[in-house]
Amino acid sequence: MSLTDILSPSDIAAALRDCQAPDSFSPKKFFQISGMSKKSSSQLKEIFRILDNDQSGFIEEDELKYFLQRFECGARVLTTSETKTFLAAADHDGDGKIGAEGIELFKC
């Protein structure tokens, strides 16, 4: 399964366009534009599984900086500031990594 099986390619493209400039990435806005915020819990867990590059069950800081590239190969890398802000917003237990439940925080 790929992200485009769950999310519209045009919504993904719009979300990536919105955060092209360094330090313009907002997780909540990205989730809204891409359509992720409207997905069911099971769909979000599948998206998380796809984004969890090493399949550890967590998205660690090293994986998170490449978050946008999981949506499109040529997308930019998140800046250190964006990565730390994203991690802080979704790491509800402070262990330095995001579990599948962390992605639910951006659901509207």
Which positions make up the binding site? 52, 54, 56, 58, 63, 91, 93, 95, 97
* C-alpha dihedral sign at 37, 41, 43, 46: positive
Q: Please give the annotated binding residues for Ca(2+), written as ranges.
A: 52, 54, 56, 58, 63, 91, 93, 95, 97
Residues 6+ away with beta carbon under 8 Å from 8: 35
Full DSSP string of 77-101: PPPHHHHHHHHHHH-TT-SSEEEGG
